[in-house]
Structure 1
């Protein structure tokens, strides 16, 4: 395994695969903060040149966290389809990039069960932004809860009616407002202030009452800790989707209060007691930098750790996965350029892994990013056939205090791209006069229709 090259009369040598992957990553403030990033553009280019000639077998044999030390590594390695892997193991990362960019969807999907997360991360590092859009656009991953998300020609949205005190009237006002713009076909999903079993159950029951009364074909979720949702489910609360934030290492998952065995238990409980009809009933959120913030990155770069999140998520056949790309802050993604790059990377990696992938296109107010950066990324991801975005009142979450995509943004992105919501949801929105022929209808923006 060659880990050095000569560039501009200077020899660049890398300590190991982990070091090489970190140095080949595009500039991220998180990698710089932890001292593993390339020192300059020349070293980054040198790392990419070396990485291009690394074989997939070498990547599999050198996970960034040892198999013996980390259950996420074990999940990823043990899930590899050995027959598929043996067909591709001698490919280099450069070969894999060319294969993905030149091959049709069916051929790309035929090899993905032979990939590890380190391979997915490595090929991403060799791609430009247009490569990431072009490659992701080819891959269509669908999933079914109450409805089916991800069909070609659709663009879905999570209706996120958060409230700073969990006031049920305020929550429902936001829900009705968002629904009046045709938002909510991916999920009605609330981040609670109060993580109690009682509060979680109360909100979920209210959501279920609303969707039942108004015959809205969708699914609902309250994003409490998985243990809270499990207890609510045991008490008979109607839960369509079970949520949990996950990370790419065992250490960081323990920081979230979870283990693989706990997620397995949650999955089994949902399979037995869920309120939804389909085979995909888990919802995970991720985001570059979370492992560094919990001191669980194991000296690895944030892109590779993010890829490992998707390797873990794949175990549970989730209905939804999304990267909350700009939420953690400038310590990990400093500016609009880094957020844009990370959003395209995460979306592509999730798609290549086989997930129903969405992106919370967002930023925090102390980042060097603005509304134009957000809109640029949303349009790029729409071109890349991202499954879903967030829908938040005015794009400003009054509980989580960050900027994301608003109800109007979802309508505009659908009209720009010619995409529609999930079919059954669109039909019901047309019956209510909210949508008409793929655009906003006569009752759009009028939440009072749900008070009549």
Structure 2
């Protein structure tokens, strides 16, 4: 059905819900590249006014990507919980925004609502929100997950220790791990993006991480961020895999470009669960996403990139992950042109993911050819900290020498915790205190060469 909005005798018409959603999106280079963005700010505002009057229930009747040709759409439709949705079923997109910002949308109410919210509903309401609305609503969404520690608790933010190396050199990786641990990073995960897909080399990385964690008794988890099928092979060969990683997207065709489908992800989760390596919980999956991935694969079906991103969260939440994050500025300026677009996209992603029940973190990042700099990342880091982000990245010097992009550093984690009074995962914080790496307030302690933590690391073969 057509959607229309009239102001002063001028009528803007939108052929269907898919076009309306695209035209209502904040300006970003990816939608312009796809030829689906609003022509100007006036048309964008007309689309938002029209979208505000659309009943939420409309999204259950009008699929943006047909049910018959997309397994992600089938997942969204078949898993929708009408009982959970009943609380807001009478609302329009605009009145849903008002409800989310009101006192009625408590932490408990939002938790109960999750199964009733489709990604298209989440994306639609985010398009009507100011940045402060996205922060306020996301902050009320609490998503808690567990493996060897507890993530997502109020007043806490975790850091993924990301010790990448361009040749997977063990000593280079080890040096970054030591650096991160001494700064108190690593409670989210110690996660390596490997430079190779060679199974024996990947297994060596998995074994090395397992030895560090087990010998030092660190209440955290490891992950080698290789393709899910490689991880399955390592599990079959007896490797001590903690967390299974995969990049996912919001359409079946885009996921096929990644070499995956829902069945493969289910098989991987079952395999990881069979190892029973968690000590306080069984969330065993880690997913990464990013606005523009479906468009870059030519698999977006004319849907705007932010809505495609929200659909990726439907894929992720189906497998109860320990971690999920948007790699917000990684795909490049063709999709998010500058710091302003990256900031807006990250706040949208965080809100939509949390609203849908994902433990959403963010790789606060940009590529070197984007119109962005570290000041933009400092601003976004602070905004996401206020919004209650689950975790951020900890990269030595904020410069990933393997993936060649700019992210956040171990120091940034210290800054965020200091300025907002945030703590680490409780089990990890207690370990750092036992190891005399932080004081009772959570501040990093200076280390003498004879410090017991350094001696323990040297006994593991770390040279520094």
State whether structure 2 residue 92 is matched by structure 1 residue 92.
yes
Instruction: Report the TM-score when normalising by structure 2.
Output: 0.95
2:342 maps to 339
- Deviation for aligned residue 1:97: 0.7
* Matched-pair contact (CA < 8 Å) for 1:286–1:306: yes
Deviates more, 1:7-16 or 1:301-310: 7-16
Query: Secondary structure in 2 aligned to 1:88?
Result: coil
For 1:41 and 1:101, how far apart are their aligned partners in 2? 25
1:120 maps to 122
For 2:60 and 2:365, how far apart are their aligned partners in 1? 33
Q: Decide which of 441, 445, 448 is 2:445's aligned counterpart.
A: 441
Q: Decide which of 135, 138, 144 is 2:140's aligned counterpart.
A: 138
Instruction: Report the TM-score when normalising by structure 1.
Output: 0.98
Q: Decide which of 388, 391, 397 is 1:388's aligned counterpart.
A: 391
1:213 maps to 215
For 2:225 and 2:293, how far apart are their aligned partners in 1? 17
1:451 maps to 458
- Deviation for aligned residue 1:171: 0.6
State whether structure 2 residue 10 is matched by structure 1 residue 10.
yes
2:462 maps to none
1:349 maps to 352
Query: Secondary structure in 2 aligned to 1:188?
Result: strand
Deviates more, 1:276-285 or 1:218-227: 276-285
1:37 maps to 37
Query: Secondary structure in 1 aligned to 2:246?
Result: strand
Give ranges in structure 2 of 5+ residues lacking alignment.
460-464
* Matched-pair contact (CA < 8 Å) for 1:53–1:92: yes
* Matched-pair contact (CA < 8 Å) for 1:392–1:406: yes
For 1:8 and 1:173, how far apart are their aligned partners in 2? 65
* Matched-pair contact (CA < 8 Å) for 1:418–1:438: no
What pairs up with 1:394-409 in 2 under 5 angstroms? 394-409=397-412
1:78 maps to 78
* Matched-pair contact (CA < 8 Å) for 2:326–2:362: yes
Q: Decide which of 392, 413, 417 is 1:414's aligned counterpart.
A: 417
Q: How many residues align?
A: 452
Query: Secondary structure in 2 aligned to 1:153?
Result: coil
For 2:273 and 2:247, how far apart are their aligned partners in 1? 19
RMSD (Å), alpha carbons = 1.5
What pairs up with 1:205-354 in 2 under 5 angstroms? 205-277=207-279, 278-354=281-357
- Deviation for aligned residue 1:116: 1.0
* Matched-pair contact (CA < 8 Å) for 2:223–2:242: yes
For 1:82 and 1:213, how far apart are their aligned partners in 2? 48
For 2:3 and 2:130, how far apart are their aligned partners in 1? 23
* Matched-pair contact (CA < 8 Å) for 2:2–2:14: no
2:435 maps to 432
- Deviation for aligned residue 1:214: 1.2
| Cα shift readout 1:362-414 (whole Å, capped 9, x = no counterpart) | 00000000000001000000000101000000000000000000011111111
* Matched-pair contact (CA < 8 Å) for 1:433–1:444: no
Deviates more, 1:401-410 or 1:77-86: 77-86
- Deviation for aligned residue 1:266: 0.9
- Deviation for aligned residue 1:9: 4.2
For 1:356 and 1:78, how far apart are their aligned partners in 2? 22
2:375 maps to 372
Cα 1:408–1:87 shift into 2, 3 Å: closer
State whether structure 2 residue 363 is matched by structure 1 residue 360.
yes
* Matched-pair contact (CA < 8 Å) for 1:60–1:118: no
- Deviation for aligned residue 1:431: 2.1
- Deviation for aligned residue 1:271: 1.6
Cα 1:444–1:190 shift into 2, 3 Å: farther
| Cα shift readout 1:59-89 (whole Å, capped 9, x = no counterpart) | 1211211100100000111111122234433
- Deviation for aligned residue 1:448: 4.4
| Cα shift readout 1:219-277 (whole Å, capped 9, x = no counterpart) | 00000100000010111111111000000000000000001111111111112124223
Cα 1:399–1:183 shift into 2, 3 Å: same
For 1:443 and 1:35, how far apart are their aligned partners in 2? 56
Query: Secondary structure in 2 aligned to 1:157?
Result: strand
